[in-house]
Chains A and B, each alone.
Chain A
Amino acid sequence: MTEKRRLVVIGNGMAGARTVEEILARGGDFDITMFGDEPYGNYNRIMLSNVLAGVEDESGIFLNDLSWYADNGITLHAGTRIERIDRASKTVYAADGSATAYDKLIIATGSRAFVPPIPGLHRPGRGYHQGVFAFRTLDDTRAMIRYAREHTRAVVIGGGLLGLEAARGLQNHLPHVTLVHGTGHLMNTQLNEVAGRTLQRTVEQRLGIEVLVGATTTEILGKHAVAGVKLADGRVVPCDVVVVAAGIRANAEVAAASGLTVERGIVVDDQMLAAPDVYAVGECAQHRGEVYGLVAPLWEQARVLADRLTGAAPDAAYRGSKVSTKLKVAGVDVASMGLTAPAEGDESVTFAEPARGIYKNVIVRDGRLVGATLVGDVAKAAYLIQAFERGLDLPAERASLLFDLGGESAEVSPAEMPDDTQVCNCNGVAKSAICGAVAGGCRTVGGVIDRTRAGKGCGTCKPLVASLVSWAAGGALDEDPAASYYVPGVPLPKPALMASIRRLSLRSVSAVFDALGGEEDARSKMGLASLLKMMWGDEYVDERDARFINDRVHANIQRDGTFSVVPRMTGGVTTPAQLKRIAEVAERHDVPMVKLTGGQRIDLLGVPKEKLPDIWAELDMPSGYAYAKSFRTVKTCVGSDFCRFGVGDSTALGIALEERYQGIEGPGKMKLAVTGCPRNCAEAYVKDLGVVAIDGGKWEIYVGGAAGAHVRKGDLLATVDSADEVIVLAGRFLQYYRENGNWLERTYAFVPRIGIDRVKAIVVDDADGIAAALDAAMDASVAAYRDPWKENGVTPGQFRTALPLTVLPQVPVRA
């Protein structure tokens, strides 16, 4: 029988015990001996603040009581300090003179309170002065509580995390607490100055803790017991309790004395190895120059070490932790990760509302989150921590990193989302299906979308799908070059595609496939048709098979294979004669449903394809284009003619816009509105382009708004003096969008992607000198416009039914 290997662990704190737990969980077969300095089992040091604050009982903070050691055959020497490691003989020597041999040794001695050399803190030969406490161990905490209850004024030295917690906790035991902090602002390791100030105000005003920053303590006063602290500027703060919370230092003296390399901690490599058969984990270890004082890195280290020692994963390596914290500091929510200040070239987005004690800052470098600070409102913390740790793609609209904006759901933390959450509401795809596709080998967002069909409906969930894929792949995401293609079947982004089309004079969709794509692709045809028509106008060679069915028959296909007919009704203004005609046509053809649309028009629903030409002829109205990726409608209010409040003739301007830009194709739908006053009855703030009359004969133009699956208020593009200027700028903006928007990218995504300032510079200020070209291109498109309802039978069987013999579920006729 071979003897078990002997594993000795110096340190019975969170790191030591956790490592042993991980080893046991992997079935590690060791003869384990643990040495603990404190005479207890293993407790959660983080919870000492709660014990001090009185919200947690001592018994509630123990992680492993003494029976756990017995049950797992672990020999525990609690209250026994190791003084020396003899690496040559592989033996550790304790203060009581005992010697214990090891095959493997883990040092997990943690850290201790750092006590600065302040005169008066100690009494010669007798430890701390009467009334002075460190805040590190359960014994410290017990003694502090006992003493504080019989006294009235406490000074906490140190305004870091621990100091704040101590100050807050002490308030439960005595009436006056002053926090004295040496540097300029609280929590200076984790927070920048503004965030620290925000926290300070809350701590002072809401909690009633007095805070002195930039205040170095030079002396502890008092003959027999503490009577006050003296600061460098000569001020004296009277008190009868002093708590030192000035940071921690690694317990590495024994390791250093035993010949291990010690800098700020015991230096270890990626295996957590400090010397042959000697390992170190937790706060006493220094890995790649970092000594971690938080619990998350400790868990990672424990896992790697257990993997190594048990052979469960002999190649396991610890590569350092990206440290983030989200906690309640003295009752105030604080989250912090990464950098606290931007470097040259970084993006830094800040929101500060000092009156409510709220401060938020994110720092972005090369499109990745490299730092974030939240004080007072940590609603976004879970998402930001994910983005930070995993290097997720960030939303273009950086404000959504700080706030939950309407509509967009990309900021839901992938980790926190339950597995059965439906992600794609159009196609009913759950988080689990997306993660399953990733687990099944899909390593690109596009691949997962193809596999699961998530994001293939209205498309609004695509950012969320992308973040789930990124999360599920744990950063091992393949670069998806197709993500930048204008259409999937031609491997070029839009600018390069347009340049090639021009250079090679490609005037039809099949010519583009032949010259650039290699292979015809059904899913790319519609986008290419739209682009070519925009680029070539009258010279475009219109191959009808490149069109989606809606564009082939100028109507919107419905769930039962019938179509909807929406005649143009400019500005939503109609006449009794027009209404009569529509009514007669609808009656004559038994149109199953007549409905008012959101764009202020009338929709005839349930029309069979073969009846479309007759109905158009009888209506004798132009197409409303309610079926294409094109300029749709201009919604208007009654403006100044009738409305008591109207300050501009919104109706006339809406009609003029619609008559000019009707039917213009683009990368996505273009829905407009003109409203006669800021009451916004026509909902102009949430349109692709919305115009608002303001007093003084002026018009505001908003772009990039949306009120569909995505809700966004438009950005102000310009304020102009006349309707004519509105018409010109609207056309120029729409042309810029047509030329630069990605296929199916609505303006609500396009405008934030380009940035409203850049859009303004180009469209309003002509910074790039392309305004005239944009205007000319739009003029050409407007001139090339033909009402499609006037064409009849361009291709054979164009309006022949494609409905099967079996009668499909039909939209019921409403009486």
Chain B
Amino acid sequence: MTFPSPIQASGAGRTYLGSIHDIPPGEGRAYAVDGESVAVFRLRDGSVRALSAVCPHRGGPLADGQIDRKQVVCPLHLNAWDLTTGCSLSGQPDLTTYPVRLDGDQIVLGE
């Protein structure tokens, strides 16, 4: 099974994941960072969010989930999490969140 070309890690706990234009508005994409799977979402207001890419319920691919400004909904069983806090909205374990921002059109994961 092939995975997306993993990310070139850079120094100081900061990782450039590539262009924001790799993610269509309102969608998410999965990235492999230091052995972790991270789902990055591009909200329709232009901001980005990053969370663990694995649904803790049954391992669903959260990057394939639908989002709005607040939540991501897992495509397998429709559990939901807060995009900003990672808190479950449907009684599941919470998700790890990662600091993420845009540097120009580049997605930067880490502080």
**Cα-based distance from A610 to B24 in the complex (angstroms):** 17
Known: A544-B24, A561-B61. A801 touches B75 (CB 8 A): no
B27-65 interface bits toward A, Cβ cutoff 8 Å, 1 = contact, 0 = none: 111101001110100001000000001100011111111
For A525, give the chain B residue with the smallest CB separation: B66
**Cα-based distance from A63 to B75 in the complex (angstroms):** 60
Interface-forming stretch among A25-33, A180-188, A265-273, A803-811?
A803-811
Q: Which of A516-559 contact B (CB under 8 A)?
A: 519-523, 525-526, 543-546, 548-550, 552, 557, 559
Please state if A608 and B1 are interface contacts (CB–CB under 8 Å).
yes
Please state if B37 and A806 are interface contacts (CB–CB under 8 Å).
yes
Is A802's beta carbon under 8 Å from chain B? Answer: yes
Report A-chain residues with C-beta under 8 Å of the C-beta of B21: 796
Please state if A549 and B3 are interface contacts (CB–CB under 8 Å).
no
Please state if B54 and A549 are interface contacts (CB–CB under 8 Å).
no
Please state if B78 and A456 are interface contacts (CB–CB under 8 Å).
yes
Please state if A544 and B27 are interface contacts (CB–CB under 8 Å).
yes
For B69, give the chain A residue with the smallest CB separation: A520
Is A200's beta carbon under 8 Å from chain B? Answer: no
Please state if B4 and A804 are interface contacts (CB–CB under 8 Å).
no
Is A60's beta carbon under 8 Å from chain B? Answer: no
Please state if A805 and B35 are interface contacts (CB–CB under 8 Å).
yes
Q: Which of B21, B23, B66 has the most CB of A within 10 A?
A: B66
Report B-chain residues with C-beta under 8 Å of the C-beta of A457: 77
Is A800's beta carbon under 8 Å from chain B? Answer: yes
Is A345's beta carbon under 8 Å from chain B? Answer: no
Please state if B69 and A543 are interface contacts (CB–CB under 8 Å).
no
Q: Which of B25, B36, B58, B60 has the most CB of A within 10 A?
A: B60
**Cα-based distance from A674 to B80 in the complex (angstroms):** 41
Report A-chain residues with C-beta under 8 Å of the C-beta of B36: 805
Known: A545-B24, A548-B75, A561-B64. A808 touches B59 (CB 8 A): yes
For B79, give the chain A residue with the smallest CB separation: A453
Is A205's beta carbon under 8 Å from chain B? Answer: no
Report B-chain residues with C-beta under 8 Å of the C-beta of A130: none
Known: A522-B80, A796-B21, A804-B37. A453 touches B1 (CB 8 A): no
**Cα-based distance from A521 to B69 in the complex (angstroms):** 8
- Interface size class of chain B, counting residues whose CB lies under 8 Å from the partner chain: 35 or more
Report B-chain residues with C-beta under 8 Å of the C-beta of A809: 59
Is A510's beta carbon under 8 Å from chain B? Answer: yes
A811 shortest CB reach to chain B, Å: 13
Is B13's beta carbon under 8 Å from chain A? Answer: no
Please state if A557 and B53 are interface contacts (CB–CB under 8 Å).
no
Is B91's beta carbon under 8 Å from chain A? Answer: yes
Other-chain contact of A797, B23, B39, B78 (Cβ < 8 Å): B23
Is A795's beta carbon under 8 Å from chain B? Answer: yes
Please state if A800 and B29 are interface contacts (CB–CB under 8 Å).
yes
For B29, give the chain A residue with the smallest CB separation: A797
A contact residues vs B (CB 8 Å cutoff) = 427, 453, 456-457, 489, 510, 519-523, 525-526, 543-546, 548-550, 552, 557, 559-561, 608, 610, 795-797, 800-809
- 11 contacting pairs across A/B (C-beta < 8 A): A520-B69, A522-B72, A543-B25, A545-B26, A548-B66, A557-B76, A560-B59, A801-B4, A801-B30, A802-B61, A804-B54
18 additional contacts, CB 8 Å, given A525-B68, A801-B30? A453-B90, A457-B77, A510-B26, A520-B68, A522-B80, A523-B73, A550-B75, A557-B64, A557-B75, A557-B76, A608-B2, A796-B21, A797-B4, A797-B29, A802-B39, A804-B53, A805-B3, A806-B37
